[in-house]
Structure 1
Amino acid sequence: MDKFELIAPCHFGLEAVMKREILDLGYEIIKVEDGKVTFSGDAEAIVRANMFLRTTERILLKVGQFKAVTFEELFEKTKALPWENYIPVDGKFWIKKANSVKSQLFSPSDIQSIMKKAMVERLKSVYHVEWFEEDGASYPVRVAFMKDEVTIGIDTSGISLHKRGYRQAISKAPITETLAAALIKLTPWRKDRILVDPFCGSGTFPIEAAMMAANIAPGLNRNFLCEDWKNLISRKYWYQVKEEAQDIMDLNVQTDIQGYDLDGTIVKYARENAVRAGVDKLIHFQQRDVKDLSHPKKYGFIITNPPYGERLEEKENLPALYETIGARYKELDSWSMYLITAYKDAERYIGREADKNRKIYNGMMKTYFYQFMGPKPPKPKKTME
Structure 2
Amino acid sequence: MSQYFATVARGLESLAAQELEQLGARSVEPGFCGAAFEGDRTLLYRVNLWARLPFRILMKLHQFPCHDANDLYSGIQTLDWSNYVTPDLTLAVNATGKNEHLNHTHFTALQVKKAIVDQQQDRLGDRSNVELQDPDVRITVHIDRDLCTVSLDSSGNSLHRRGYRPAVGSAPLKESLAAALIQLAGWQPEQMFYDPLCGSGTLPLEASLKALNIAPGLFRERFGFETWLDFDLDLLEHLIREAEDSQRETLPAPIWGSDRDEGVIEQAIANATSCGVLDHVWFSQIDLNDVVAPTDSGVLFCNPPYGERLGRDSDLGAFYKQLGDVLKQRFKGWTAFVLSGNKELSQFIGLKSSQRIAVYNGSLPCQLMKYELY
Cα 1:259/1:101, change in 2 over 3 Å: farther
Letter of the aligned partner of 2:110 in structure 1? S
Aligned twin of 2:256: 258
Could you tell me how far apart the structure 1 residues matched to 2:63 and 2:181 are? 31
**Which residues of 2 match residues 37-116 of structure 1 at below 5 A?**
37-88=35-86, 90-95=88-93, 97-100=94-97, 104-116=101-113
Alignment partner, residue 130 of structure 1: 125
Contact 2:193 2:299 in 1 (8 A): yes
TM-score (norm 1): 0.89
The 1:141/1:135 distance shift into structure 2, 3 A limit, reads: closer
Q: How many angstroms does 1:176 deviate by?
A: 0.8
User: Could you list the per-position Cα deviations for residues 17-44 of structure 1 after superposition, in whole angstroms to 9, with x for gaps in the alignment?
Assistant: 2111111111113421121111112111
CA distance in structure 2 between the aligned counterparts of 1:102 and 1:358, rounded to whole angstroms: 33
- With the length of structure 2 as denominator, give the TM-score of the two structures: 0.91
Alpha-carbon offset, residue 322 of structure 1: 1.0
Change (3 A) 1:60 1:373: farther
**Pair 1:179 & 2:177 matched:** yes
Alignment check: 8 A CA contact 2:17 2:28 kept: no
Aligned residues: 369
Aligned residue number for residue 140 of structure 1: 138
1:221 matched to which residue of 2? Answer: 219
Instruction: Report deviation, 1:249.
Output: 0.7
Alignment-mate amino acid for residue 344 of structure 1 = K
**How many Å apart are 1:106 and its aligned residue?**
1.8
Q: Which amino acid aligns with 1:46?
A: L
Q: Structure 1 residues 270, 9: CA separation in 2 closer, same or farther (over 3 Å shift)? A: same
Match of 1:11, SS state, is coil
Q: Which moved more, 1:157-166 or 1:255-264?
A: 157-166
Distance across 1 between alignment mates of 2:225 and 2:178: 25
Residues 215/311 of structure 1: CA separation in 2 closer, same or farther (3 Å cut):
closer
Any conservation in 2 of the 1:8–1:59 contact (CA below 8 Å)?
yes
Q: Structure 2: 5+ residue runs without aligned partners?
A: none
| Partner SS for 2:343 | coil
The answer to whether structure 1 residue 298 and structure 2 residue 296 are counterparts is yes
Alignment-mate amino acid for residue 353 of structure 1: K
Task: Label 1:148 to 1:306 Cα distance change in 2 as closer, same or farther (>3 A).
Answer: farther
What is the distance in 1 between the residues matched to 2:58 and 2:309? 36
Q: CA 1:276–1:94 in 2, change beyond 3 Å: closer, same or farther?
A: closer
Task: Encode CA deviations 1:286-325: one digit per residue, 9 max, x unaligned.
Answer: 1112222221523311111111113786431111111111
Residue aligned with 2:333, SS? coil
> In structure 1, what residue type is equivalent to 2:154?
T
- C-alpha separation between the residues in 2 aligned to 1:129 and 1:210? 50
Q: Which residue of 2 aligns with 1:249?
A: 247
Shift of 1:133: 4.9
Cα gap change, 1:263/1:142 in structure 2, threshold over 3 Å: closer, same or farther? same
% same residue: 31
Question: Which deviates further from its counterpart, 281-290 or 197-206?
Answer: 281-290
CA 1:82–1:371: 2 relative to 1, 3 Å:
farther
Please give the secondary structure, in 2, of the residue aligned with 1:280: coil
Q: Which runs of 5+ in 1 are unaligned?
A: 376-385
Separation in 2, partners of 1:330, 1:20: 34
Which deviations, in whole Å up to 9, do the C-alpha atoms of 1:238-282 show, x marking residues without a partner? 111111111101122333111111101111111111011111111
For 1:308, the equivalent position in structure 2 comes to: 306
**Residue 340 (structure 1) aligns with:** 339
CA-CA distance at 1:143 after TM superposition: 2.2
- Give SS of 2:149's match: strand
